[in-house]
A and B are shown apart, each in its own frame.
Chain A
Amino acid sequence: MSTKIEKEEITIKFAGDSGDGMQLTGSLFTGNTALTGSDLATFPDFPAEIRAPIGTLAGVSGFQLHFGSRKIYTPGDECDVLVAMNAAALKANLTNIKKTGTIILSTDGFDKKNLRLAKYADGENPLEDESLANFEVFKIDITKLTREALKESPLGTKEKDRCKNMFVLGFLYWRYDRTMQGTIDFLTQKFAKKQDILEANIKCIKTGYHYGDTTETFTTQYKVKPAPLEKGTYRSIKGNEALVIGLITAARKSKLSLFYGSYPITPASDILHGLAKHKNYGVKTFQAEDEIAAVCSAIGASYGGDLGITGTSGPGLALKGEAIGLAMMLELPLVVVNVQRGGPSTGLPTKTEQSDLLQAMYGRNGECPLPVISASSPSDCFEVAMEACRIAVQHMIPVILLSDGYIANGAEPWRFPNAGDIPSIKVNFKKPIGEDKTFLPYLRDEKLVREWALPGTKGLAHRLGGLEKEANTGNVSYDPANHEYMIKTREAKVDKIADFIPEQKITMGVKKGDLLILGWGSTYGVLESVTKELVAEGLQVGHTHLRYIRPFPKNLGKILKNYKKIMIPEINNGQLSKVIRDQFLIDVIQFNKIQGVPIMKAELKYAIKEVLENM
């Protein structure tokens, strides 16, 4: 009989070759974990190459999951358990394991060839020397056990070996005292037409589970109680999924057809895939010939009365710049989703970075201010998607929505709303007018917003274009005073949006005190949890996180004055810091990490304490 130990929280990292199926294993284990009621956060981390050379460090694909019986804000700094399918996976993750952590090794991944590919010195083998002595190490010959389990299966050896990840999954289900039925149901659906593969997968999960149960080496099972989450119905959600759902919801709530023009780019392609699956919601997807055509098609669709949306990542945003400027001049609604990744140029396509705040703010020719909003977590993408659409259609303007690779692929539990409880987004098209009346396309209301007049409407024929417009008539104008007036008016129109967004709030810690931690985007979790710990230690720290970056909420200036110092942690070289200094003429302390990975709790906490000690 095994003993059961209760844990408050656990971090597991699945690591293997990019062909080992670690992302699927991680996702399935995450789904299973969510059903137990734990709170959780995940961080998938994969190479840019689809199949990097097998066994190399460059080919290591990882999936980190942090779950617990308390509120979980981040995927965890260091892991309690590392599953390493080969030598490279071990080597790449060795510095990320807790000092007394557990390592589960697939011994067949440590043969001579694998050791050499992982750049271990000749004769060096971590399985045989003392380098892993401080860890609890379980060595399992997963390949042998998998093949043995499948000896009756008609599958070839290669296909059998692909089931190794299911053995691992089954073993972990035993170790964390889980049930397997949900996963078996999922596989049954996935492989409905491939009976042999289905049977092999199920067999391996069960074999893995029983291996844990019956092998005497494994004496301990770990249990994590449900987290004290708010009562309600939950699902697991990734950022890109939440964007898809949010955009469709916004289209429904505004009674508009959704048009999504996009060109495939990592890590934004899943939005295109997700939307293309939902044609029965009236979603039109258009895979354009390039990034420029993608945004231009969305502008054309908006002109025609659809909710025009385009999605991309940093390099694509650069290509779309001119067209976004056009949409700004046309004063048509447009949502530009930018799932940021490491830059500049092609940069780090599969790694996360808060790379494009300045590009979103300033990356167009001429005076071209636009609303910029950002998502702070996977589930937050849902609300931010709706906000972007609301601002775009109600203020007749392109809105840039910033997400990033970390929240795009990371997952968390989400207490989702009822569709009926979501407020509608009011859209007014200009009504037809009689021949005796003149339509002024650039006449503005009190929000400084012009009317949306659709081609096909009687009496409203008008011409739009990228040349400077005369106020009210929208005719081409080269008049010097008019140009300045229009520039100021378009800027005032953006600033006016501040009247239609909520005020900024302190989400954690003191409302007045020594240090304000100011953040935006995907750093929310780590900033919130570090602040929580510092406050518990009695320190005078507060955290506020920006969703609206242009315009800022009206009370942000006031909040900044309530603290002696401001610290801005970012996964870039200090982009929000520049904007805050520019707008408020105050200094800020930067904390920047630009390594393609999220900020760790420990490093941030250390940096904050250092600031507080020197005050």
Chain B
Amino acid sequence: MTKNNLKAKDFTTDQDVRWCPGCGDYSILAQVQKVFAELEMNPDEVAIISGIGCSSRFPYYMNTYGMHSIHGRAPAVASGLKIANPDLSVWIITGDGDGLSIGGNHLLHILRRNLDVNILLFNNQIYGLTKGQYSPTSEVDKRTKSTPMGSLDHPINPLAVAISADATFVARSMDRDPKHMKTMLKRSNLHKGSSFLEIYQNCNIFNDGAFFTFTDKATKKSSAIFLEDGQPLVFGENNEKGIRLDGWKPQVIDLEIDNYSKDDLWIHDEGDLYKAQMLARFFDDPRQEGFLPRPFGVLYSSERVCYEDQLLAQLNEAIEQKGEGNLDQLIAGSVTWEI
């Protein structure tokens, strides 16, 4: 991409942003604009594709190419676009309903194909645009308009799903930690292949405080664990707690009380698929006593060849093997006769 001197505001459009005041989406929009400016992205070479829902209004507010498509189908649209023009920086904006309910199928398939796109899933554990029904990530027993006696659905674990679909980059961040989010956005952009970044986003109208346990100053340090490659898994007010592996079982230990030192802790390795799967399973309901801390950061990152590169390589291979297609030969086929 060419160098430029663009500021975050150069990535804003003249359209009024229509999210509810106080919505977590504002923070995400601001960080994306800042990161795009810091990365000196060329707005003409970026395409942002979304589905339907609150989060999916995102493209209208970004001064880049963009498409607000139909419910759940952004990964499919983005796949076609990326195959047509692999030079574009393609971003998919989706939500917990759009990406995990109506569009769950497409999410699985874009991840396993590993197209070089960046997927941002805004998870607010609620349907906002349709005014407050429970979503596939809502906790069990959630009372909403459509579940007056509490929801029965067991929630989807988005990162576990992504890892199971063999995603090559899986990360989590939160709207209330702009610094962390910026780092994660940059890492997503850097990753060659499908990057899947789940962002906890507060819906202050229909599901206020869904993630406060993880995002609120008072509880954040004791309930969220921030992963760093090569570093031990520590958390707590003064990093006094850690995770060690007792065989295959993760165990919370108190470095000040228990007879363990930092050397005994689980060292995070972004390239370790097995450990990443375990980390994705740190998904206890925070209402439970003694829940495991929720991991934030890059759970998993690896390299795998991208779909669009292979698709185009096959075209070149076919041309090498058979020569560039001749239209007259195609039309005539193999057997002809004269009359």
Q: List chain A positions with a Cβ less than 8 A from chain B.
A: 31, 34-35, 37, 182, 226, 229-237, 241, 245, 248-249, 252, 257, 259, 261, 278-284, 286, 288-290, 292-294, 296-306, 308, 322-323, 326, 330, 415-420, 454-467, 475-476
Within 8 A of A (CB), among B307-339: 311, 314-315, 317-319, 321-325, 327-328, 330-333, 335-339
Q: A284-B311, A297-B76, A300-B81 are in contact. Are A463 and B60 (CB under 8 A)?
A: yes
Q: A300-B79, A303-B67 are in contact. Are A245 and B331 (CB under 8 A)?
A: yes
Q: A37-B339, A292-B76, A465-B59 are in contact. Are A235 and B83 (CB under 8 A)?
A: no
Residues of B within 8 A of A416 (CB): 331-332
Q: A296-B69, A296-B73 are in contact. Are A279 and B318 (CB under 8 A)?
A: yes
Residues of A within 8 A of B78 (CB): 300
* A286 and B79 contact, CB distance less than 8 A: yes
* A280 and B321 contact, CB distance less than 8 A: yes
Residues of A within 8 A of B108 (CB): 289
Query: In the complex, what residue of chain B is closest to A242 when comparing beta carbons?
Result: B331
- Complex Cα spacing A252 to B83, Å: 18
- Complex Cα spacing A241 to B80, Å: 24
Q: A289-B106, A330-B67, A458-B44 are in contact. Are A303 and B327 (CB under 8 A)?
A: no
B66 touches A (CB below 8 Å): yes
* B84 and A280 contact, CB distance less than 8 A: no
Q: List chain B positions with a Cβ less than 8 A from chain A.
A: 13, 15, 43-47, 49, 52, 59-60, 62-70, 73, 75-85, 87-88, 105-106, 108-109, 311, 314-315, 317-319, 321-325, 327-328, 330-333, 335-339
Query: In the complex, what residue of chain A is closest to B112 when comparing beta carbons?
Result: A289
Query: In the complex, what residue of chain A is closest to B69 when comparing beta carbons?
Result: A326
- Complex Cα spacing A584 to B178, Å: 63
Say which residue of B62, B80, B324, B338 sits within 8 Å of A304 (CB atoms).
B80
Q: A282-B315, A293-B109 are in contact. Are A229 and B339 (CB under 8 A)?
A: yes
Say which residue of B62, B331, B333 sits within 8 Å of A417 (CB atoms).
B331
Residues of A within 8 A of B44 (CB): 455-461
* B80 and A297 contact, CB distance less than 8 A: yes
* B322 and A280 contact, CB distance less than 8 A: yes
Say which residue of A303, A415, A463 sits within 8 Å of B77 (CB atoms).
A303
Residues of B within 8 A of A249 (CB): 327, 330-331
* B337 and A466 contact, CB distance less than 8 A: no
27 contacts between A and B (CB under 8 A): A37-B339, A182-B335, A232-B339, A259-B80, A259-B84, A286-B79, A288-B109, A289-B108, A293-B106, A293-B109, A296-B77, A299-B77, A300-B76, A300-B79, A303-B47, A306-B83, A330-B67, A416-B331, A455-B85, A456-B45, A456-B85, A461-B64, A461-B65, A462-B65, A462-B66, A466-B68, A466-B70
Residues of B within 8 A of A297 (CB): 76-77, 79-80, 83
Tell me, rounded to whole Å, the shortest Cβ–Cβ distance linking A199 to chain B: 23
Residues of B within 8 A of A229 (CB): 339
* B333 and A300 contact, CB distance less than 8 A: no
Say which residue of A278, A292, A460, A475 sits within 8 Å of B73 (CB atoms).
A292
Query: In the complex, what residue of chain A is closest to B72 when comparing beta carbons?
Result: A292
Residues of A within 8 A of B76 (CB): 288-289, 292-294, 296-297, 300
Query: In the complex, what residue of chain B is closest to A256 when comparing beta carbons?
Result: B84
Tell me, rounded to whole Å, the shortest Cβ–Cβ distance linking B101 to chain A: 14
Tell me, rounded to whole Å, the shortest Cβ–Cβ distance linking A428 to chain B: 17
Query: In the complex, what residue of chain B is closest to A231 when comparing beta carbons?
Result: B339
Residues of B within 8 A of A288 (CB): 76, 79, 109
- Complex Cα spacing A34 to B333, Å: 14
Interface of A is mostly: mixed
Q: A280-B323, A301-B84, A330-B67 are in contact. Are A418 and B15 (CB under 8 A)?
A: no
Q: A230-B339, A234-B337, A296-B76 are in contact. Are A322 and B70 (CB under 8 A)?
A: yes
Query: In the complex, what residue of chain B is closest to A300 when comparing beta carbons?
Result: B80
- Complex Cα spacing A241 to B333, Å: 10
Q: A284-B311, A465-B59 are in contact. Are A233 and B336 (CB under 8 A)?
A: yes
Query: In the complex, what residue of chain B is closest to A330 when comparing beta carbons?
Result: B67
Q: A35-B335, A234-B336 are in contact. Are A289 and B325 (CB under 8 A)?
A: no
Say which residue of B13, B70, B324, B338 sits within 8 Å of A233 (CB atoms).
B338
- Complex Cα spacing A71 to B167, Å: 59
Residues of A within 8 A of B79 (CB): 286, 288, 293, 297, 300
Query: In the complex, what residue of chain A is closest to B60 when comparing beta carbons?
Result: A463
- Complex Cα spacing A66 to B317, Å: 42
* B335 and A235 contact, CB distance less than 8 A: yes
- Complex Cα spacing A11 to B37, Å: 73
Residues of A within 8 A of B73 (CB): 292-293, 296, 323
* A323 and B47 contact, CB distance less than 8 A: no
Say which residue of B63, B75, B338 sits within 8 Å of A461 (CB atoms).
B63
* A289 and B332 contact, CB distance less than 8 A: no
- Complex Cα spacing A340 to B161, Å: 37
Residues of B within 8 A of A455 (CB): 44-47, 65, 81, 85, 88
Q: Closest 8 CB pairs between A and B?
A: A300-B80, A304-B84, A465-B68, A281-B325, A296-B76, A297-B80, A279-B318, A455-B65
Residues of A within 8 A of B82 (CB): 300, 304
* B315 and A279 contact, CB distance less than 8 A: yes
Tell me, rounded to whole Å, the shortest Cβ–Cβ distance linking B273 to chain A: 23
Residues of A within 8 A of B319 (CB): 279-280
* A296 and B325 contact, CB distance less than 8 A: no
- Complex Cα spacing A462 to B67, Å: 9
Say which residue of A279, A284, A458, A464 sits within 8 Å of B83 (CB atoms).
A284
Known contacts A252-B327, A289-B108, A456-B87, then 7 further A-B pairs from the complex at CB < 8 Å, ordered by chain A residue: A234-B338, A286-B311, A288-B109, A302-B84, A455-B47, A460-B44, A466-B70
Tell me, rounded to whole Å, the shortest Cβ–Cβ distance linking A291 to chain B: 10
* B70 and A323 contact, CB distance less than 8 A: yes
Residues of B within 8 A of A464 (CB): 66-68
- Complex Cα spacing A284 to B319, Å: 13
Which of A235, A461, A475 has its CB near the most chain B CB atoms (within 10 A)?
Answer: A461
- Complex Cα spacing A289 to B336, Å: 38
Residues of B within 8 A of A456 (CB): 44-45, 65, 85, 87-88
- Complex Cα spacing A454 to B47, Å: 10
Query: In the complex, what residue of chain B is closest to A326 when comparing beta carbons?
Result: B70
Tell me, rounded to whole Å, the shortest Cβ–Cβ distance linking B308 to chain A: 9
Residues of A within 8 A of B325 (CB): 248, 278, 280-282
Residues of A within 8 A of B70 (CB): 296, 322-323, 326, 466
- Complex Cα spacing A241 to B15, Å: 48
* B83 and A301 contact, CB distance less than 8 A: yes
* A234 and B67 contact, CB distance less than 8 A: no
- Complex Cα spacing A281 to B331, Å: 12
Residues of B within 8 A of A417 (CB): 331
Tell me, rounded to whole Å, the shortest Cβ–Cβ distance linking A481 to chain B: 20
- Complex Cα spacing A484 to B15, Å: 22
* A300 and B339 contact, CB distance less than 8 A: no
Residues of B within 8 A of A234 (CB): 336-339
Residues of B within 8 A of A292 (CB): 73, 76
* A465 and B339 contact, CB distance less than 8 A: no
Which of B47, B77, B311, B319 has its CB near the most chain A CB atoms (within 10 A)?
Answer: B77
Residues of B within 8 A of A37 (CB): 337, 339
Residues of A within 8 A of B63 (CB): 461
Residues of A within 8 A of B333 (CB): 235-237, 241
Say which residue of B66, B80, B88, B321 sits within 8 Å of A299 (CB atoms).
B80
- Complex Cα spacing A475 to B324, Å: 43
Query: In the complex, what residue of chain B is closest to A432 when comparing beta carbons?
Result: B44
Tell me, rounded to whole Å, the shortest Cβ–Cβ distance linking A386 to chain B: 11
Tell me, rounded to whole Å, the shortest Cβ–Cβ distance linking B99 to chain A: 14
- Complex Cα spacing A292 to B51, Å: 13
Tell me, rounded to whole Å, the shortest Cβ–Cβ distance linking A364 to chain B: 12
Query: In the complex, what residue of chain A is closest to B86 when comparing beta carbons?
Result: A304
- Complex Cα spacing A419 to B325, Å: 12
- Complex Cα spacing A282 to B332, Å: 18
Tell me, rounded to whole Å, the shortest Cβ–Cβ distance linking B244 to chain A: 40
Tell me, rounded to whole Å, the shortest Cβ–Cβ distance linking B304 to chain A: 18
Residues of A within 8 A of B323 (CB): 280
